[in-house]
């Protein structure tokens, strides 16, 4: 077991965003998390990664309860994530963004020119994997949105995560870049990384994921292979009202 939630719940005011969600993410697989808008997917991500605290339930990672852990501690334990809107430092260079992500280098030291040679080498390795190594000296704000997504993904791997949560990786990028991201995820999964992907692009989800969990109204209603969930009447009702 890589990640498991038990009875996870969160409400904002009188609106229940996640409602008793018990979910198990399959280790070594590319897991998909889908559902209609407002079904609780991003809130679920935020609960799992410690950005918000649940009202009830718990989160288990590698057999340990991490429900009350800080986002930094959770990331240090091997769980990384991206966001729907890229979180980068726009006025720092691509390489500086990578080095800050390590968290061993103090920002003040980095800006003063102090760099660890091993970390720089590791950063360049991941930039090369993403195909943006030629941009290492460019300020992040000058990158295209798709390139910023690749930078955010590269920065996550500076922490060497075992489980990576991707929030809308195909959102707002062109088809060629979507294909590159899908290929990267498959390659990294083949190397032993587990993924959990929230995505509205059903072609991407069904073509990339091994196992899919479907949310509706804050809770899972179906899970299985892409073929299984596509034909499940509960999924059709949630998406199409049929």
Q: What is the DSSP letter of 188?
A: H
| Residues β-bridged to residue 3 | 25, 61
d(CA 18, CA 26): 20
- φ, ψ of residue 217 to 5 degrees: the values are 55, 40
Q: Are 197 and 31 in contact (CB under 8 A)?
A: yes
Q: What is the CATH number of domain 3-78+161-240?
A: 3.40.50.300
Q: Give the residue from 103, 151, 97, 147 showing the smallest Cα distance to 126.
A: 151
Q: Buried (b) or exposed (e) across 105-132, using 16+ Cβ within 10 A?
A: beeeebeeeeeeeebeebbeebbebbeb
Number of Cβ atoms within 10 Å of the Cβ of 142? 13
Q: Give the residue from 145, 144, 157 showing the smallest Cα distance to 184.
A: 157
Q: Kind and range of the H or E element at 123?
A: helix 117-130
Taking the domains of the chain in order of start, what are their residue ranges? 3-78+161-240, 89-155
Q: What is the pLDDT of residue 130?
A: 95
Q: What is the pLDDT of residue 150?
A: 94
Q: What is the pLDDT of residue 242?
A: 47
Q: What is the pLDDT of residue 108?
A: 57
d(CA 88, CA 155): 9
Q: For the segment 121-135, what is each residue's pLDDT rounded down to a tens digit?
A: 999 999 999 999 999
Q: How many CA atoms lie within 13 A of 146 on its CB side?
A: 14
pLDDT (tens digit, 0 to 9) for every residue of the chain, 242 residues total? Answer: 589 999 999 999 989 999 999 999 999 999 999 998 888 999 999 999 999 999 999 999 999 999 999 999 999 999 999 887 778 899 999 999 999 876 554 555 555 556 788 899 999 999 999 999 999 999 999 999 999 999 999 999 998 999 999 999 988 889 999 999 999 999 999 999 999 999 888 889 999 999 999 999 899 999 999 999 988 888 888 775 54
| CA angle (84 as vertex; 185, 49 as ends), nearest 5 | 80
């Amino acid at each position: 077991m890589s990640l498991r939630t038990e009875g996870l719940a969160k409400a904002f005011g009188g609106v229940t965003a996640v409602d008793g969600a018990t979910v198990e993410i399959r280790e070594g697989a590319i897991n998909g998390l889908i559902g209609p808008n407002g079904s609780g997917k991003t809130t679920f991500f935020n609960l799992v990664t410690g950005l918000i605290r649940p009202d009830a339930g718990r989160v288990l990672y590698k057999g340990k309860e991490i429900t009350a852990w800080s986002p930094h501690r959770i990331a240090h334990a091997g769980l990384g994530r991206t966001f729907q809107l890229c979180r980068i430092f726009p006025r720092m260079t691509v390489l500086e963004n990578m080095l800050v992500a390590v968290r061993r280098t103090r920002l003040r030291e980095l800006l003063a020119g102090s760099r660890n040679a091993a970390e720089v080498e590791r950063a360049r390795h991941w930039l090369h994997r993403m195909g943006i190594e030629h941009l290492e000296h460019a300020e992040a704000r000058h990158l295209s949105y798709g390139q910023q997504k690749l930078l955010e993904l590269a920065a996550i791997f500076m922490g060497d995560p075992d489980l990576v949560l991707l929030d809308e990786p195909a959102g707002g990028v062109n088809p060629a870049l979507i294909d590159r991201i899908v290929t990267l995820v498959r390659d990294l999964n083949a190397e032993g990384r587990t993924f959990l992907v929230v995505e509205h692009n059903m072609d991407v989800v069904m073509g990339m994921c091994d196992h899919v969990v479907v949310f509706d109204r804050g809770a899972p209603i179906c899970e299985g292979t892409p073929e299984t969930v596509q034909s499940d009447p509960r999924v059709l009702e949630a998406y199409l009202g049929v």
